Amino acid sequence: MTYKGFMFKKGETGLHKLDPRVKFLISLSFVVCSLLFEELVVLAVLTLAMVPLASRGGVLKEWLSTLRGLAFLAVLIFAINLVFIFFGSGKSWEFPAAMALRFVVVVSSFSLFFLVTAPDEFGLALQQSRIPFDVVFALTMAFRFVPVLALEVQSIADAQRSKGLELDSGNLIMRIKRRIPLLIPLIVSSVKRSLEIAEAMEARGYGSGNPRTSLYKLKFRRVDLAVTVLTLAVLASAVYFRLYLPIPVCLGF
């Protein structure tokens, strides 16, 4: 399942131990670079550059599952761009391919970030970057509950299939219609859960007005500083390349 490519996987690798802000900067740099360039070669290099990172972080399998999950949308983006750009303006076929690859780089770089960053760590990073706690909390809760919701969908599907509901037969419209018995319990139980969580949080002093303290504080180590400098240097070089150097096209046509 694609959502597994966005679920934190525990580990003790160097990538896991990096400050979450640095990891976010790395992912953001991939996104910025992918937006700076529309040449297929560069976008391919960017994608491949994530392979050793995912491998070092021990999350290559999960990261590849994200790529597999993206394949359908990537092909769709390629096809749409091919119709409107390649056949429309006669531009190189490289452009539609680059657009599809740009989408892959953007999504998979965030997949890599979430695979090696615990939701709580991510929340802590945002909180210590002075983002209001309510916003941070809503964001981290949303990420934390993705696997819970996935399990809930499974339980609901089990219950409905046990009452004779066939989910995987019939035409597209029939299949969509048959998913209504899954959607309603999912929405109802999600809303119910969020209300219960809110009540339980308030009962434990959430919103008491006192300044919040933290159990953990993020420490910016030397290695974090070194990786930050390196990432910023790569980013600066990318901007320089974009502005002053020609980028080769893939096959020259």
Partner 1 sequence: MIKLENVGYVYPGGVKALRGVSLTIGEKGSLAIMGRSGAGKTTLIKHLNGLLKPTSGKVTVDGVDTRKATVAQLSRKVGIVFQNPDHQLFAETVEEEIAFPLKNFGFPQDEIKTRTEWVLELFNLTRYRHHSPLSLSGGEKKRVAMASVVSWKPKYLVLDEPTLGQDRENKLRLRELFEEFMGEGRTIIMVTHDVEFTAECGFNVALLVDGKVSALGSAQEILSNVELLKEASLAAPQMAELFLELEGMGAQPVFTVEEAERLILSWLMAGAEKP
Which residues contact partner 1 (rule: CB under 8 A)?
Answer: 152, 155-156, 158-166, 180-181, 183-185, 188-189, 192
Least separation in angstroms between residue 157's CB and partner 1 is: 9
130/163 with CB nearer partner 1: 163
Least separation in angstroms between residue 140's CB and partner 1 is: 23
Least separation in angstroms between residue 182's CB and partner 1 is: 8
165/250 with CB nearer partner 1: 165
17/175 with CB nearer partner 1: 175
35/167 with CB nearer partner 1: 167
Angle at Cα 236 formed by Cα 230 and Cα 241, nearest 5°? 125
The dihedral sign for the CA sequence 10, 15, 18, 23: negative
Least separation in angstroms between residue 186's CB and partner 1 is: 9
85/146 with CB nearer partner 1: 146
- Using CA atoms, how far residue 201 sits from 26, 94, 128, 134, 188, in Å, is 34, 52, 21, 12, 20
DSSP one-letter string for 62-90:
HHHHHHHHHHHHHHHHHHHHIIIIIHHH-
Number of neighbouring beta carbons within 10 Å of residue 4: 17
Q: Which stretches within 117-210 are classed as H helix?
A: 119-127, 133-144, 146-161, 172-178, 180-203
Least separation in angstroms between residue 151's CB and partner 1 is: 11
**Residue 16 CA neighbour count, 13 Å, CB half:** 13
* DSSP category for residue 119: H
Please give the single-letter amino acid code of residue 84. Answer: F
Pair of tokens at residue 46: 């960017």
Least separation in angstroms between residue 164's CB and partner 1 is: 3
166/202 with CB nearer partner 1: 166
**Scanning the structure block, which residue is given the tokens 């945002």?**
126
